[in-house]
Every structure is written in C-alpha cells, then in structure tokens.
C-alpha cells in the first residue's frame, strides 16, 4: 500500500505492555517514524492477538488498515516480526476486510447496552448454577430451552478463538456464516451448535434470570445481569487487516484444520 501524498506510507505504531512489544516499538519508531493514528495510512500493531483486537476496536469507523507483528504468544492474527523491509512488506500485503458483530443487551433494570465484537458475543452463567436460554433466529424460536454454562456467536475471524476452544467449527474467512456454539451443554446434551447465515438476526433470552444470572460479553466488554441479547453483523463497518502474501487468515484457518 502507498500513501496518496508521499512515496512511503505514514505509519502509526501501537504496542502492548509486554516487554518484547515495547522494545520493538522503540526500534521501529526510531527507524520508520510514528504518525498520529488519525493521520496514518496504516497502523502497525505489536503484540499478540489481544493487541490486534484492541487496535481494531480503537480504529473502528476509520477503516485504516492494520498490520500486526507478533510480539506475543499465539499471534494467529499477526505477521512474523522483522525490523527490516517493513515498507516493502506493507506494499505487498494482502488485505482482508471483516465486519464486527453488534450486541444489544437489555439488563434486569431495563437498561440497554450496545457493544461491538470482532471475535464473538458470549453469554456466561454468573453463578454456580447452569444458565437457561431461549434462542430465536430471525424472530422464529429455534431452541426453547438450552441448559449450559453459556453460548456464543462467532464471526469467521473469531471462529479460531474462543469458539474453537468450545469445540465450535472453523469458518473460512470469506464464508457468509456465523457460528453459534454452546459452552458445556447439559440439555439438549447432544446439541453442538449451529451454522447461521451471516445476515441472520439472533436473539437470546435468559430464562430464570434472577435465579440464574447471566453476563453478556462482546470481545472484552461485559455487561452483567442481562435478560435479552440481540446479535447481528454490522455490514456498514469495515475493518481491514493486512497480512504477508501466503500468510492470510484463510491460509491459517486451513492450516489449523490440518493440525499445523
């Protein structure tokens, strides 16, 4: 990618609090400069997947592409860290556009809370007792009672995160799908979730919410004591990630399914 006004892109760097990320930040800023985020052509995030998600949330609404370099642990969303040839790597990078979920949660007091999720929206039990949910898709009841520790709705980009740990399906990035995955289901015991069209509007009601309190979480934003949660893909918001050729998310999702 190139800047419209200069031969080299204006880069804004962001780093996690990890020691390796802070050290990399100092080296890269000295070498390439550091533009204000609102003026940058690209944001380079240094850290792990959590840092990438944080940066995506910070840049939401700006559509500034984000190029991550791994200075964390897993780094599924990140590129390999190298100090050299960053300008060339940015120029050759492949773009991946994703959309976040919008979560609209109503709590026990009737208050409405709205948050965005790039990976998933998850509902969790808050107490020792299992939660009970009623699930609607596009206004039609699909599951009258799900007894479990929780349930989540994941985007294709988020299907490799908590969804995968909960034994949910991996989704190719370009697939027009969302994954709904239960967390430790008790009844119906054999229900393992559903694949939904990404245009679907999901509504989850909490049954016996005072006896079995539930929290709703959009990525890292949590609201407690919810009674109803509505989830839908926000097609108006584009989030752009950059990856080195041959190392995009589609390739990583394929590799994950074959044990790499």
Annotation: binding site for NAD(+) = 49-50, 119-120, 149, 157, 160-165
Q: Is 56 helix (H, G, I), strand (E, B) or coil?
A: helix
Distance CA 240, CA 215 (A): 29
Q: Active-site residue 250, yes or no?
A: no
Residue 194 Cα distances to 58, 123, 144, 175, 197, angstroms: 31, 16, 15, 14, 10
Active-site residue among 20, 34, 41, 49? 49
Distance CA 258, CA 70 (A): 22
Residue ranges of the annotated binding site are 49-50, 119-120, 149, 157, 160-165
**Strand ranges (E), 99-225:** 101-107, 112-117, 120-125, 131-137, 140-148, 150-154, 177-183, 194-197, 202-207, 214-218, 221-223
Where in the sequence numbering do the catalytic residues fall?
A: 49
């Amino acid at each position: 990618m190139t800047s419209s006004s200069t031969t080299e892109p204006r880069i804004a760097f962001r780093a996690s609090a990890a020691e390796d990320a802070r050290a990399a930040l100092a080296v890269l800023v000295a070498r390439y400069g550091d533009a204000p985020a609102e003026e940058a052509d690209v944001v380079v995030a240094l850290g792990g997947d959590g840092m990438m998600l944080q940066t995506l949330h910070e840049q939401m609404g700006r559509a500034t592409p984000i190029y991550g370099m791994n200075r964390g642990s897993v780094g599924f969303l990140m590129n390999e860290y190298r100090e050299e040839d960053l300008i060339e790597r940015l120029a050759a990078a492949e773009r991946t556009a994703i959309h976040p979920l919008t979560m609209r949660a109503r709590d026990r007091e009737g208050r409405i809370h709205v948050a965005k999720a790039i990976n998933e929206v998850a509902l969790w039990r808050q107490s020792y007792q299992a939660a009970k949910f009623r699930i609607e898709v596009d206004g039609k009841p699909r599951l009258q009672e799900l007894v479990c520790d929780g349930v989540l709705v994941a985007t294709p980009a988020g299907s490799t995160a908590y969804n995968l740990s909960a034994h949910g399906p991996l989704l190719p990035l370009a697939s027009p799908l969302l994954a709904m995955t239960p967390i430790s289901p008790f009844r119906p015991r054999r229900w393992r979730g559903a694949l939904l069209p990404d245009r679907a509007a999901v509504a989850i009601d909490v049954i016996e919410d005072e006896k079995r309190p539930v929290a709703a979480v959009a990525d890292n934003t949590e609201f407690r004591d919810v009674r109803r949660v509505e989830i839908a893909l926000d097609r108006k918001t584009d989030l752009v990630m950059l990856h080195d050729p041959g190392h995009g998310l589609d390739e990583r999702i394929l590799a994950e399914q074959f044990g790499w």
